[in-house]
Amino acid sequence: MNSIYILVFSLLWVVVAYFWYGNSVIKKKLIDPVDENPTPSHSMNDGVDFYPAPSIVLFGHHFSSIAGAGPIVGPIVAVTCFGWGPAAIWLLVAGVFIGAVHDYLSLMISVRHQGVSIPDTAEKYVSKKAKFLFLVFVWLTIVLVIAVFGNLAATSMITKPELVIPTFALIPLAMLFGVINKNRWLPLWANTIIAIAGLIFLIWLGFQFPITIGTPKTAYSIWFTLLMIYGFVASVTPVWILLQPRDYISSWVLILGISLAFIGIFIVHPDMNAPFVIAETFKDSSQGPLVPFLFIVIACGAVSGFHSIIASGTTSKQLDREKDAMFVGFGGMLMETIIGIVCVIIAGAAIKWGTGENELQWIFKNSGGALGVYGNGFGRLTSFIFGNEVGVVIGITIVNVFIMTTLDTSVRLARFLTNEMIGDKLPAKLQNKFFYTIVAVIPAFLLGITDSWASVWPLFGAANQLVAALVFIILTAYFYSKNKPIKYTLWATIFMLTMTIFALCWMIWKYFVAAPNYFLGSVAVVLVVLAVLMIIEGCKKIGSAKKA
């Protein structure tokens, strides 16, 4: 099949789904937004965390934060393991009916509860025990994300030293944008053009002056440490001066990059030469059997529990009007779905498959894994503009910019979660944003600087999807308590719990029997127990509501 057909169908599908399922079904039947209701960004405006943003700027923040490398890595790995057909179908179906619903509803429930996180709402609509279990689990997951994304960013600057200047110089550029935007010295459109032009100049400057420091080990320690310091600073500064503008500028980088990929697909229009489905992976693959691991490998672009933490952590505190949430939350998820589809095309068509060891597998082993595949495929699709070599670096630069946005948002989220988890138990002198941030950054730094994160990373995919399943339990309990229809969230709850617990049980068998790793096996057992406890708490809540 020609890749143009897949891209055109996908674009039409998400546009129709946005207006049909998002606007006409989910928004009207479950939320019914009212702009007269003051959002937390106005009612609790503190100029630091709670601060209203124009819808397009907030879209940029939210989209950049949820994306990262997720919608690039997951689909490419899935094409390699399962074929392009299952990957594309899961993205298009789940992105609309599960992922966008999950993100939008998480955002709106937080907005209507003074901007608190989804774990915090679990206490009211499920139980106090559910809140504690979920809060601890999410906090540990966020700390792991900080370590891993810091590792990815540091490693990319070592392998591609051209990235150093645009990565760090974007910080003052974003701050300048934030100051101009807050004081309204220029219209938003003019400020945006200047910022994008400045970033393009920084990327060019990076090409002219690539920066290397000592041995790779020394360079990693320096870059990773600087990234953790940046994460700390970004977490405690007002959102309008760094987080909002950096993410907004970064969103335009990916939008422009994906637009170039669109043009490349229409001009080059490669055929999908990867298998539609790799039949033997129904039984097993490098990731596990197609069912349930397709639904674990592709998270971002389809459904990701991490999104709910961002939606209810930072985005809800910046939403200007309730009606903006559909564009930001539902629309941001569908944009990510399209990125996933582009990556399916890159892996399945722009990279050649052949007999024996195909090229995609060779790139995985010898050229930076999924990010290397993306860079090489992007370079080929845009070679008529930049030439292949420059296109590869531009593709990887785009990914690295997004890794940084997820990193700084994650540190701020960890601060919020630390406050919710232990804030009232600390001495008064320690109840401040600086201490809450340090509590999260130190373990993330230790995990990243020692590479200890790698020992638990194999379970991250299942843990992330378990967060989504647990969020759907909370959403279903919430709408049940409000006498709203629960069919739109209940089926997603059952599906996500089934697939995630199935995957974790498979991992338990693997790590205790097939390929013993008792640490990972034990963690998988703990995750299953957590899921079962949350299911019990959710059923208790619905049962008590029925009696009432």
**Predicted pLDDT of residue 452:** 81
With beta carbons less than 8 A apart as the criterion, state whether 396 and 382 touch.
Answer: no
Q: How far apart are CA 473 and CA 477, in angstroms?
A: 6
3-state SS class at 356:
coil
72 pLDDT higher than 80: yes
Both tokens of 9, joined, read 């169908």
Higher pLDDT, 254 or 201: 201
Which pLDDT belongs to residue 484? 92
What is the per-residue pLDDT across 242-276, written as a single tens digit (0 to 9) for each? 888 988 888 888 888 888 889 988 888 888 888 89
- pLDDT surpasses 70 at 217: yes
- Tell me: pLDDT of 545 over 60: no
> Residue 347: what pLDDT?
86
Q: Are 247 and 173 in contact (CB under 8 A)?
A: no
Give the mean pLDDT of the chain.
87
Is residue 300 within 8 A of residue 340, CB to CB? The reply is yes
**Neighbouring residues of 32: CB distance < 8 A, sequence distance ≥ 6:** none
What region does 83 belong to: left with phi over 0, alpha with psi -120 to 50, or beta?
Answer: left
Instruction: Give me the pLDDT at residue 377, please.
Output: 83
pLDDT at 170 over 70: yes
- Sorted by where each begins, the domain ranges of the chain are 3-464
Radius of gyration of the chain (CA): 22
Q: Compute the C-alpha angle 40/45/47, nearest 5°.
A: 135
Is 0.75 topped by the overall pTM? yes
Whether 356 shows a pLDDT value over 60: the answer reads no
- What's the whole-number mean pLDDT along residues 466-491? 90
Q: pLDDT: is 289 or 361 the higher one? A: 289
Reported as half-sphere exposure (CB side, CA atoms, 13 A), residue 160 has a value of 28
Name 526's Cβ contacts closer than 8 Å, sequence gap at least 6.
none
pLDDT recorded at residue 360: 67
Q: Which stretches does DSSP call E strand in 57-124? A: none
Give yes or no for residue 355 having a pLDDT over 70.
no
Q: Where are the alpha helices (DSSP H) in 95-127?
A: 100-111, 118-125
Q: Give me the residues paired with residue 215 across strands.
A: none
Gap between the Cα atoms of 114 and 446, Å rounded: 33
Condensed to tens digits (0 to 9), the pLDDT of residues 423-464 reads 777 787 888 888 889 998 999 999 889 888 877 777 888 888
1 is written with which tokens? Answer: 């099949």
The pLDDT tens digits for 86-133 are: 999 999 999 999 999 999 999 999 999 998 888 888 777 777 777 787
Angle (nearest 5°) at CA 225 between 224 and 230? 95
Higher pLDDT, residue 51 or 68: 51
Separation CA 363–CA 366 (nearest Å): 5
How confident is the model over 408-419, as a mean pLDDT?
87
> 3-464: what fold?
Amino acid/polyamine transporter I (1.20.1740)
Region 179-189 average pLDDT: 90
Q: What is the pLDDT of residues 485-495, one digit of tens each?
A: 999 999 999 99
Is pLDDT above 70 for 547? Answer: no
